[in-house]
A and B are shown apart, each in its own frame.
Chain A
Amino acid sequence: MLSCKDATQLISRSMDTSLPIVARIRLRLHLRICAWCARYKQQLLVIRDTLRRADAAGDRPEERAGETLSEDARERIRKSLRNP
């Protein structure tokens, strides 16, 4: 039986590559009976999903409000473009 410690390692790896068949089956069985590891996996996926959505919202200022170049930086960059 796969331990939770080993399961979390496999969960992480399964997010980066496809697991060998035996490991995949062991993990699937473990997740079916272990609510904690299943929750762990779901939370890692929520983290990934949140970051990818935030990135995709980069050109929608209403969703990424407050994240703008400072006036100073803006001025500095303009100046450097005028006299490169």
Chain B
Amino acid sequence: MMRKAGPVDPTEWVDRYGDYLFRYAMLRLRDRSRAEDLVQETFLAALKVRDSFSGHSSEGTWLVAILKHKIVDHFRRQSREVPLPDEGLPDSPADEPFDANGHWTTGPAEWGGNPADLFRQKKFLEQLTKCLAGLSPNLANAFTLREIDGADTQEICKVLRVTETNLWVILHRARARLRDCLETHWLGKRPAEES
């Protein structure tokens, strides 16, 4: 957890909290310049309401809460710019590696080693975030809210303005595509293509 600290001079915020906020934003936005912009907006918003900071939480926690709002706002805007078609997501045969009877054509490969230890490997996380960045914003944002933030599905439906049925499909597609991307690039099972 963020160490508890008293209020500091706002110009010191950058050194004290800048990288922490940046990593928070980067994991969710997958875009360096956008993450940097939102960190800046967070500090500026915090500066305006600094007097209302109660000191009940740590300053770091308070700043993250502001950033979190900004990220959700960004997702909300993005979902308006790139709305889902009314009929939902187009079907892509690549999404489902199954034959006509619903059996796997090529089943999931073993990822090697103890799967529970994969998170310790820095390269695995790197590849995972690359794969996430390759998803369309609709899929990636829903996935981020659900899997990283643990938001519940009704909340996500409101932010992204999709029906719950559509959200199930979106999350299923996002998970299936990410898993497939990791299998391809992490295992090098197929020749790596840059997405």
Contact = CB atoms under 8 A, between A and B. Distances in A.
Interface of A: 3-6, 8-9, 12-13, 15-17, 35-36, 39-40, 42-44, 46-55, 58-59, 61, 64, 67-70, 73-74, 76-78, 80-82, 84
Nearest to B176: A8
The dominant DSSP class at the A interface is helix
Interface of B: 1-2, 10-11, 13-14, 18-20, 22-24, 26-27, 32, 36, 39-40, 43-44, 47-48, 60, 96, 98, 101-104, 107-108, 110-111, 115-116, 118-119, 124-125, 128, 146-148, 150, 153, 168, 171-172, 175-176, 178-179, 182
Contacts of B150: 52
A36 B168 contact: no
B98 A77 contact: no
B20 A58 contact: yes
Nearest to B101: A3
A6 B103 CA distance: 9
Contact of A51 (B104, B107, B148, B168): B148
Given A43-B179, A67-B26, A81-B14, A54 B125 contact: yes
